Amino acid sequence: MDIQEHIIANLPVFDIKDTTEKVLEFFQDSTYSHVAILDDGRFLGLFSENDADGLQPDAKIDEFRYELQSFFVRRDTNWLDVLEVFARNEANLLPVLNKKEEVTGYYCLTDIVAVFIDMPFFTDPGSILVVATGVKDYSFSQIAQIVESNNAKLYGGFISDTQNDIIQVTLKITANNYNKVVQTFRRYNYNIIFGNSDDEFLEDLKNRSDYLEKYLNV
């Protein structure tokens, strides 16, 4: 996926010798979390909006040199890695550097997320299924085999959660034979965390439960 076209080139950068007045004005006029600071034209670090509270406008940015954060991406950084850098640093603005360590622009989190959710995984018709299994038992090739052995197609999937040695995998599959896919996952001892409301297994279980309750009340 090509995200380079979303690089923003008209946002400012500031020099380490500037006063914090410029930085304060930037944060007051925008909703961005960070802004790039340069030293002799090269990227030095990022000033965080969280550090702007209580600043005196006539202070020098250089006084806060050691509080600057250091994260960035390159123009050829994969879009998944770009999202990871955003998430890891709780930022919504990310500088893009060239080989000379110059800031060529920024990525905005909103733009990258918009590209992400416009992927066929989210836009094409199909069904979402979230399954869980132990870390030692996890095999994406087996997951794909389970889906395709039921004449369904797997649009894609990703690990959406990991905790206590349990992995959750979110899948997007074609709607045809959906319930057969769910049944097969259960036979392979996968836990179904989320499935469509027409899951016949759950409906059958509910009917059996209702029948048993009526029987016990006779």
Matching CATH topology for 4-116 and 120-216?
A: no
Longest dimension (CA), the chain: 86
pLDDT digits (tens, 9 = 90+) for 121-179: 778 888 889 999 999 999 999 999 999 999 999 988 889 889 999 999 999 998 888 98
Amino acid 197: pLDDT: 45
Rounded to whole angstroms, how far apart are CA atoms 185 and 63?
Answer: 58
CB 91 within 8 Å of CB 33: yes
CA 134 to chain centre: 23
CATH superfamily, with its number, for domain 120-216: ACT domain (3.30.70.260)
Rounded to whole angstroms, how far apart are CA atoms 176 and 127?
Answer: 9
Domain ranges of the chain: 4-116, 120-216
Using a cut of 0.85, tell me whether the model's pTM lies above it. no
Amino acid 8: pLDDT: 97
The residue type of 170 is: T
In CATH, the architecture of 4-116 is Roll (3.10)
Rounded to whole angstroms, how far apart are CA atoms 93 and 80?
Answer: 15
Mean pLDDT for 181-208 is 74
Residue 133 corresponds to which tokens in the numbers above? 């299994």
Mean pLDDT for 47-63 is 89
